[in-house]
Amino acid sequence: MKPYEHKDIDRKWRERWQADGLYVTREDDPRPTCYTLDMFPYPSGAGLHVGHPKGYIATDVYARYKTMCGYNVLHPMGWDAFGLPAENYALKHKVHPGVAVAENIKRFKEQLTAIGFSYDWEREVNTTDPAFYAWTQWAFVQMFKAGLAYESHEPINWCPGCQTGLANEDLEGGRCERCDSVVEKRPMRQWVLRITAYADRLLADLDALPWPDSVKDMQRNWIGRSEGAEFDFAIEGRTEAIRVFTTRPDTLFGATYVVLAPEHPLLTTLLEACENAAEVAAYRNAAAARTEFERTGAREKTGVVLQGLRAINPANGERIPVWVADYVLASYGTGAIMAVPAHDERDHAFAERYGMPIIKVIEGTDVPAAEPYTGPGKLVNSGPFTGMASDEAKPLIVAHAKGTARVRYRLQDWVFSRQRYWGEPIPIVHCARCGAVPVPEKDLPVTLPDVESYEPTGTGESPLANIPSWVETTCPACGDPARRETNTMPQWAGSSWYYLRYIDPRNGTALVDLAKERQWSPVNVYVGGMEHATRHLIYARFWHKFLYDKGVVSRPEPFERLYTVGIILAEDGRKMSKRWGNVVNPDDMVARMGADALRVYEMFMGPFGQAIAWNTDHMVGARRFLDRVWQLVAKVGEGAGAIDPIVDRTIKKVSEDIESFAFNTAISQLMILVHALEAATVVSRNVYEILVRLLAPFAPHLAEELWERLGHGTSVHREPWPSYREEVLASAEVTVVVQVNGKTRATFRAPADLPADELVARARALPEVVRHSAGGMVLREVVVPGRLVNFVLTAGPRVEKLD
Ligand code: ANZ
Ligand code: ZN
């Protein structure tokens, strides 16, 4: 029999699918819908490496499977092409970002096409297309009108490398997530989105989302809700008061000093009134040079007292000192605190260092006297509240000291302007008479003009400010001469709503048609990297809720199920990077072994969410598996034969595993089936056809070719998914214990009568077994049917056996 010639087969079917429009999705299709989506890529200059398609392969397997199960599937792809990555690439290679983006998209698309994805390319979106960003701007205008987009002059994060302001979400450990520069604080004019107005709903609606707990917890922490109170500490002999935020109003009687952040606006006024103004000013300037990250780190706390000033504790009228210290952040709460050294760690360390009094007001249990007690307890030294339980005392002390209950968030409003060229222009006109006026909807999009030089200016203005013909305009409200806003939107703007546009990509009169949106929403399965947990996934939820409030969309949450992809490391265990010279290019792999071998390998290499190293030899194993499926055709007899229960078991397992994104165990079950069929003298045609259909989502080209050779004139990808006979799988399920070198590592449920080889194969694919057998080779397996599998390993490198 002819060998499996992947080159011819891959090309033949790609062209045929394209010509037949096999993956074009229609709305006038009565089947239930399923929306399967990948986080769309930045079309970077480096092209794809083998890590990128892993998530795309998974959604493609899922989309093809759901189509065969009878769903009308939406499975689109597009480009997130605005923003710093694209612009930095263009600057480095001295090409216009628009030109670079077009080239990169072309290359990405070729690479993706070579892997055989079932995307409906008629719905392709590109965030840099004016027809797309007209709606990004439209949404901004709606937010402006709703009071959710506003101008601010607060100090923000400034990246000296990228020469632009950044949002908190763009930082990693105090550095720019893009270029790794240490980020500074700079006061500057900027546009900000009031995401905090949605903080409570963003939190509350997390509970019901069937997302991984890890992602939900990251969002909860990022939003960081704190219930507490604000108190005013009057300053003796002056009219100003210092307002503090505390989560522990019950400790107010123990507040022995107050602290202002170095950037606190009141400090400028108080400086003049204190006796050591020069010292305080010097401290403030030194603090400005330290990053927020340094200040909140483990470093010893420092500060300077404002001599001659006294604040008055509103609970008991005590006169207490006022300090400036950089462990208090200007960006949280009110930028000032009441210090309670007996019950707060940071205040305690500070008070010890500077000899401030430590007054215990909560009776703790079992704490060494030298340490602060931070828990709840019975109040002491607290005037009329002494003896009360701390939780009970909270509201009473708030009332007593004329405070107000307050909820604060760690989440801050979203700094939404960038002083860079390659972004959506913010659709605002500044008029001397009318102020900031939104561009009328009929005049959208405000297109990004071509410029000679798109290098960042570093002045706090974007390069757009250098184009008078573009900047100078008239006020939409009064007709006076006015100036356009020259800041652009951040790279996260387009991605905050793009998934809606695939539903209705060419709509010229609405962001999305509501009836179509109702038909397809929400995205049923969304797949992408963990790095988006607190960025894109919070931003998109915020925009979506806003659009929901506006009646633009019909549901409050955009994404139903979410799966995070484990990254593929290089063969040396490091991250794939040009810098290390360890990048594996999918084009080479596809050329050598075929698109289907790449697909099967990436789905088989380990549990989907787990990081795992690439190994070309293992991909060879995946290719061999496909060769064996190919060769099985020679054994196929005519007509239908009896079906062994292993076929039913395989259908059940592969279906359930695809549904739960356990692709590796689905493939190992297919391998078990192929193994069993190889052992038979004849394979009946109906059984082989079941195998081909089960394999179709994973190996679409090969399956299609085999399907044709079996005499079918229609695509296997339009065939119904095979069903299994419940009655032959009626045997009870048991719990099987899995050990590695005699240590129990996992358990799983399996049919009681599962043959030993299948039991072993299922056990071997468990993530715990993969993890605990790394570095050893399986010498033998001990199987107690229906009870236990024990893998006995050698030390030394693990040899993954695929066949
Ligand atoms: C007095 C107090 C007594 C506090 C006590 C804690 C324990 P979370 O839970 O993170 O919201 N705080 C308030 N604003 C701050 C700022 N700008 N920079 C640094 N620290 C600030 O933390 C709230 C607590 O962090 C507040 O409650 C305040 O210290 C401090 F036994 O007030 B607490
Ligand atoms: Zn005007």
pLDDT tens, residue by residue, 190-243 = 999 999 999 999 999 999 999 999 999 999 999 999 999 999 999 999 999 999
**What is the Cα–Cα distance from 555 to 527, expressed in whole angstroms?**
20
Pair 538, 209: CB distance under 8 Å: no
**What is the Cα–Cα distance from 595 to 31, expressed in whole angstroms?**
30
Q: Who contacts 740 (Cβ-Cβ below 8 Å, separation ≥6)?
A: 769, 772, 773, 790, 791, 793
Q: What is the pLDDT of residue 185?
A: 83
In this structure, the residue with its CA closest to atom 26 of ligand 1 is 246
Q: Using the mean position of ligand 1's atoms as its centre, give its distance from the Cα of residue 22 in Å.
A: 59
Beta-bridge partners for 321:
310
Pair 628, 670: CB distance under 8 Å: no
Q: Using the mean position of ligand 1's atoms as its centre, give its distance from the Cα of residue 220 in Å.
A: 18
Q: Which residue has the higher pLDDT, 296 or 222?
A: 222
Neighbour tally for 567: CB within 10 Å: 18
Residue 401 gets which letter from DSSP?
T
Position in ligand 1 atom list of the atom nearest CA 408 = 11
Q: Is the pLDDT of residue 394 over 90?
A: yes
Assign 554 to helix, strand or coil. coil
Residue 698 gets which letter from DSSP?
T
Q: Which domains does the chain have, with CATH numbers?
A: 225-409 (3.90.740.10), 731-803 (3.10.20.590)
Per-residue pLDDT tens digits for 535-579: 999 999 999 999 999 999 999 999 999 999 999 999 998 988 888
In this structure, the residue with its CA closest to atom 10 of ligand 1 is 226
Q: Give the pLDDT mean for 85-102.
A: 86
Pair 344, 374: CB distance under 8 Å: yes
Residue to mutate, 154, 247, 323, ligand 1, most ligand atoms under 8 Å from C-beta:
247
Q: Using the mean position of ligand 1's atoms as its centre, give its distance from the Cα of residue 216 in Å.
A: 24
Per-residue pLDDT tens digits for 462-517: 889 989 999 999 999 999 999 999 999 999 999 999 999 999 999 999 999 999 99
Give the sign of the dihedral formed by CA 112, CA 583, CA 37, CA 607. positive
Band of the pLDDT at 780, cuts 50, 70, 90? confident
Q: What is the pLDDT of residue 369?
A: 67
Distances 473 to 439, 450, 483, 489 between C-alpha atoms, Å: 11, 17, 6, 20
Pair 57, 65: CB distance under 8 Å: no
Which ligand is nearest to the Cα of residue 231, counting in written order? 1
**What is the Cα–Cα distance from 655 to 648, expressed in whole angstroms?**
11
Q: What is the pLDDT of residue 177?
A: 85
Preceding omega of 522 cis (within 30 degrees of 0): yes
In this structure, the residue with its CA closest to atom 2 of ligand 1 is 248
Band of the pLDDT at 129, cuts 50, 70, 90? very high
Q: Using the mean position of ligand 2's atoms as its centre, give its distance from the Cα of residue 432 in Å.
A: 6
Q: Is the pLDDT of residue 797 over 70?
A: no
Q: What is the pLDDT of residue 802?
A: 38
Residue to mutate, 258, 334, 344, ligand 1, most ligand atoms under 8 Å from C-beta:
344
CA-based nearest residue to 334, from 223, 259, 252: 259
Q: Using the mean position of ligand 2's atoms as its centre, give its distance from the Cα of residue 89 in Å.
A: 39
Pair 683, 706: CB distance under 8 Å: no
CA-based nearest residue to 144, from 462, 476, 378: 476
In this structure, the residue with its CA closest to atom 11 of ligand 1 is 226
| Helix and strand numbers, DSSP H then E, in the chain | 26, 33
Pair 688, 696: CB distance under 8 Å: no
Element (H, E) at 572: none
Torsion of the alpha carbons at 621, 626, 628 and 632, rounded to the nearest 10: 170
Residue to mutate, 233, 243, 248, 250, ligand 1, most ligand atoms under 8 Å from C-beta:
248
Instruction: Give φ, ψ of 110 to 5 degrees.
Output: -60, -45
Q: Using the mean position of ligand 2's atoms as its centre, give its distance from the Cα of residue 109 in Å.
A: 46
Residue 546 in tokens: 């806003």
Q: What is the pLDDT of residue 586?
A: 92
Residue 721 gets which letter from DSSP?
P
Q: Is the pLDDT of residue 798 over 50?
A: no
Pair 252, 401: CB distance under 8 Å: yes
Q: Give the burial string for 12-29 (b: 16+ CB within 10 Å, else e).
A: ebbeebeeeebbebeeee
Per-residue pLDDT tens digits for 356-385: 999 999 998 766 667 899 999 999 999 999
Residue to mutate, 185, 230, 246, 295, ligand 1, most ligand atoms under 8 Å from C-beta:
246
Which ligand is nearest to the Cα of residue 477, counting in written order? 2
Band of the pLDDT at 310, cuts 50, 70, 90? very high
In this structure, the residue with its CA closest to atom 28 of ligand 1 is 246
Pair 428, 150: CB distance under 8 Å: no
Band of the pLDDT at 620, cuts 50, 70, 90? very high
Beta-bridge partners for 378:
363, 389
Element (H, E) at 53: helix 53-68
Which ligand is nearest to the Cα of residue 436, counting in written order? 2
Q: Is the pLDDT of residue 801 over 70?
A: no
In this structure, the residue with its CA closest to atom 31 of ligand 1 is 343
Q: Using the mean position of ligand 2's atoms as its centre, give its distance from the Cα of residue 101 in Å.
A: 37
Element (H, E) at 545: helix 536-549
**175-180, Cβ contacts within 8 angstroms, sequence gap of 24 or more:** 175/293, 178/84, 178/85, 178/88, 179/88
Q: What is the pLDDT of residue 650?
A: 96
Residue 801 in tokens: 């056996």
Position in ligand 1 atom list of the atom nearest CA 374 = 31
Amino acid at 592: R
> To which residue do tokens 């539903």 refer?
503
Q: Is the pLDDT of residue 716 over 80?
A: yes
Neighbour tally for 405: CB within 10 Å: 13
Band of the pLDDT at 331, cuts 50, 70, 90? confident
Residue 696 in tokens: 């179709």
Residue 655 in tokens: 């279906």
**What is the Cα–Cα distance from 591 to 111, expressed in whole angstroms?**
11
Pocket of ligand 1 (CB under 6 A): 226, 245-248, 251, 261, 328-329, 332-333, 335, 337-338, 340, 343-344, 408
Q: Is the pLDDT of residue 733 over 70?
A: yes
Which ligand is nearest to the Cα of residue 431, counting in written order? 2
Rg (CA), the chain: 31
Element (H, E) at 27: none
In this structure, the residue with its CA closest to atom 9 of ligand 1 is 226
Q: What is the pLDDT of residue 309?
A: 97
Which ligand is nearest to the Cα of residue 228, counting in written order? 1
Q: What is the pLDDT of residue 775?
A: 61
Q: Is the pLDDT of residue 800 over 60?
A: no
Q: Give the pLDDT mean for 270-281.
A: 94
In this structure, the residue with its CA closest to atom 7 of ligand 1 is 344
Q: How far apart are the first and last CA of the chain?
A: 21
Which ligand is nearest to the Cα of residue 246, counting in written order? 1
Q: What is the pLDDT of residue 367?
A: 63
Of 160-169, 200-209, 721-730, highest mean pLDDT: 200-209
Q: What is the pLDDT of residue 799?
A: 45
Instruction: Give φ, ψ of 593 to 5 degrees.
Output: -125, -5
Q: What is the pLDDT of residue 728?
A: 86
**What is the Cα–Cα distance from 216 to 767, expressed in whole angstroms?**
22
Q: What is the pLDDT of residue 55?
A: 97
Residues present in the chain in total:
803
**What is the Cα–Cα distance from 101 to 90, expressed in whole angstroms?**
8
Q: Is the pLDDT of residue 31 over 90?
A: yes
Q: Give the pLDDT mean for 755-765.
A: 86
Q: What is the mean pLDDT of the chain?
A: 93
Q: What is the pLDDT of residue 261?
A: 95
Which ligand is nearest to the Cα of residue 301, counting in written order? 1
Q: Is 94 exposed, middle or buried (0-12, 13-18, 19+ CB in 10 A)?
A: exposed
Distances 634 to 265, 639, 707 between C-alpha atoms, Å: 82, 14, 14
Q: Is the pLDDT of residue 305 over 90?
A: yes
Residue 237 in tokens: 């002999």
pTM above 0.85, yes or no: yes
Q: Which residue has the higher pLDDT, 45 or 494?
A: 494
Pair 701, 117: CB distance under 8 Å: no
CA-based nearest residue to 482, from 431, 428, 446: 431
DSSP string, 67-79: HHTT-EEE---EE
Pair 283, 270: CB distance under 8 Å: no
Residue to mutate, 259, 323, 332, 379, ligand 1, most ligand atoms under 8 Å from C-beta:
332
In this structure, the residue with its CA closest to atom 8 of ligand 1 is 226
Position in ligand 1 atom list of the atom nearest CA 328 = 18
Q: Which residue has the higher pLDDT, 413 or 168?
A: 413
Q: Give the pLDDT mean for 608-633.
A: 95
Q: Using the mean position of ligand 1's atoms as its centre, give its distance from the Cα of residue 333 in Å.
A: 8
Neighbour tally for 221: CB within 10 Å: 12
Q: Give the pLDDT mean for 683-699.
A: 97
Q: What is the pLDDT of residue 452?
A: 76
What is the percent of the chain with per-residue pLDDT over 70, rounded to a whole number?
Answer: 98
Give a three-class secondary structure readout of 297-361.
CCCCCCEEEEEEEEEECCCCCCEEEEEEECCCCCCCCCCEEEECCCCCHHHHHHHHHHCCCCCCC
Q: What is the pLDDT of residue 298?
A: 65
Q: Who contacts 11 (Cβ-Cβ below 8 Å, separation ≥6)?
A: none
